C-alpha cells in the first residue's frame, strides 16, 4: 500500500534535486526505492510527474502544478505531528556511539557538534577515532564515517564529498633525489614512507588509480598514524602518499611539492552512515543529520 506522505516527501525531494540518485542520498535510501515510489505515486495519481531521458529529468506540466500542493501538505503534516518540546528533549537523552578515522580539523568539527547539541545536556557521545574498521553490530556503533566505497547494503549512508591522494616530498628531498619520471621509477629509486593498515598489520598499497597500485618495498618510515606520516614527509624523510586535505596547506606554503601530478588519481567517496535498524532512536537520527551538515562543509 502506498504511504502517501512518504511518497510526497520523495516527490518533493526529487523535484528539488532533479536527480533520483541525489534524492536517494538525501533521503538515505537507495535510488531504486526512489524510482519505485515515484512510479507508484504516478500510478496512483494517474499522471506522470517527471519526464525522463538518459541524461536528465524534469517536471511535467502536471508535476509542476502538483508540487506546491504537495509541499504545503508536507509542511502542514510536519506541524501537526511535531512532538512537544518536552518529549523531544526526553528522546534526546542517552548514548550515541560514533566512529571516525583521523580527520582534518577534528577539534573544530567536535566544537561545532557540541555547540548544536547544547540544548541536550543528557545526551552522551562516545566518539572513537580509530583506523580499525569496527564491526558495526558487535561494537554497537550508531554512526560511522568511512572513506571509500560502502559494500554493506544494510547501512543507511549519506555521501558527503570526495577525497584524493597526492605524492609529495620536500623541495630539499627533490633537490637531492630529483623528480621521478614514472611510478615505476618512484617505486624503485626513491625513499618512500608507508602507512600501516591497522586492520591487517600490512602496509597500505599506494593506490594511484584503477590501473596503478603498488606496495612500498623498503620504506624509510612506517606509521599507522596519518599525521606522523605527514610529519615524515615534512621532515624530508621520504616521498609520501598523502590525502589532499592533509597535504594541500603545505603545498600552498611551499613546504611540500607534488610530483607525478599529471597521472590521474582516484577520488574516494566519503560517507556518513548508520545501521539500518527496525527502530532507530530519535537521538541517533538527530546527531546523524547534525553531524552530516557539519562534515559536508569540510568535504564538499
* Domain CATH for 223: 3.40.190.10
67-114: per-residue pLDDT in tens? 889 888 887 776 666 555 555 666 888 999 999 988 878 899 999 999
Q: Note whether 72 and 105 are same-domain residues.
A: no
pLDDT of residue 202: 87
Own/partner contacts of 90-94, CB < 8 Å, gap of 24 or more, are: 91/281, 91/282, 91/283, 92/119, 92/120, 92/122, 92/123, 92/282, 92/283, 92/286, 93/120, 93/122, 93/123, 93/283, 94/122, 94/123, 94/124, 94/281, 94/283
Burial class (CB within 10 angstroms; exposed 0-12, middle 13-18, buried 19+) of 81: exposed
Ranges in the chain, pLDDT < 70: 1, 54, 78-90, 131-139, 151-153, 278, 300
Q: Do 283 and 141 reside in the same domain of the chain?
A: yes
Tell me, yes or no, whether 143 and 274 share the same domain: yes
Same structural domain, 176 and 244: yes
CATH of the domain at 10: 1.10.10.10
Angle between helix axes 20-27 and 4-17 (nearest 10 degrees) is 120
88 within some domain: no
Helix (H) / strand (E) containing 227: helix 226-234
CA separation for the pair 295, 281 (Å, rounded): 21
Residues 156 and 291 in one domain: yes
What pLDDT sits at residue 137? 47
Cell of 238: 621520504
Provide the pLDDT for residue 237. 96
In this prediction, residue 152 carries a pLDDT of 62
In the prediction, which pLDDT does 61 show? Answer: 92
Same domain, 156 and 168: no
109 & 11 share domain: no
Q: Give the C-alpha separation, 93 to 89, whole Å.
A: 7
Determine the pLDDT at residue 86.
56
Residue 87 within any structural domain of the chain: no
Q: Do 120 and 195 share a structural domain?
A: no
Residues 168 and 156 in one domain: no
| Cα–Cα nearest to 18, from 63, 66, 76, 62 | 63
Query: SS3 of 165, please?
Result: strand
Q: Cα 119 vs. chain centroid, distance in angstroms? A: 26
Amino acid at each position: 500500500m502506498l504511504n502517501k506522505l512518504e511518497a510526497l516527501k520523495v516527490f518533493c525531494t526529487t523535484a528539488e534535486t532533479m536527480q533520483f540518485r541525489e534524492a536517494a542520498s538525501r533521503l538515505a535510501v537507495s535510488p531504486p526505492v526512489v524510482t519505485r515510489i515515484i512510479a507508484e505515486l504516478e500510478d496512483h495519481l494517474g499522471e506522470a510527474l517527471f519526464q525522463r531521458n538518459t541524461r536528465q529529468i524534469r517536471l511535467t506540466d502536471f508535476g509542476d502544478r502538483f508540487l506546491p500542493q504537495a509541499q504545503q501538505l508536507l509542511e502542514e503534516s510536519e506541524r501537526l505531528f511535531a512532538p512537544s518540546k518536552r518529549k523531544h528533549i526526553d528522546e534526546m537523552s542517552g548514548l550515541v556511539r560514533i566512529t571516525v578515522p583521523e580527520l582534518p580539523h577534528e577539534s573544530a568539527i567536535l566544537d561545532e557538534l557540541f555547540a548544536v547539541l547544547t540544548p541536550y545536556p543528557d545526551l552522551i557521545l562516545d566518539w572513537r577515532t580509530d583506523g580499525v574498521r569496527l564491526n558495526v553490530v558487535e561494537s554497537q556503533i550508531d554512526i560511522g564515517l568511512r572513506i571509500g566505497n560502502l559494500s554493506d547494503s544494510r547501512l543507511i549512508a549519506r555521501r558527503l564529498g570526495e577525497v584524493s591522494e597526492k605524492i609529495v616530498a620536500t623541495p630539499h628531498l627533490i633537490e637531492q633525489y630529483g623528480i621521478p619520471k614514472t611510478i615505476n621509477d618512484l617505486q624503485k629509486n626513491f625513499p618512500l614512507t608507508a602507512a600501516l593498515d591497522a586492520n591487517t598489520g600490512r602496509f597500505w598499497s599506494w593506490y594511484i588509480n584503477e590501473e596503478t597500485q603498488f606496495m612500498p618495498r623498503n620504506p624509510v618510515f612506517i606509521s599507522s598514524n596519518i599525521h606522523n606520516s605527514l610529519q615524515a614527509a615534512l621532515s624530508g624523510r621520504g616521498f609520501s602518499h598523502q590525502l589532499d586535505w592533509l597535504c594541500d596547506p603545505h603545498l600552498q606554503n611551499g613546504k611540500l611539492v607534488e610530483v607525478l601530478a599529471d597521472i590521474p588519481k582516484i577520488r574516494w567517496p566519503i560517507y556518513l552512515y548508520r545501521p539500518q535498524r527496525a527502530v532507530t532512536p530519535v537521538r541517533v537520527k538527530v546527531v546523524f543529520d547534525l553531524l552530516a551538515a557539519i562534515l559536508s562543509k569540510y568535504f564538499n
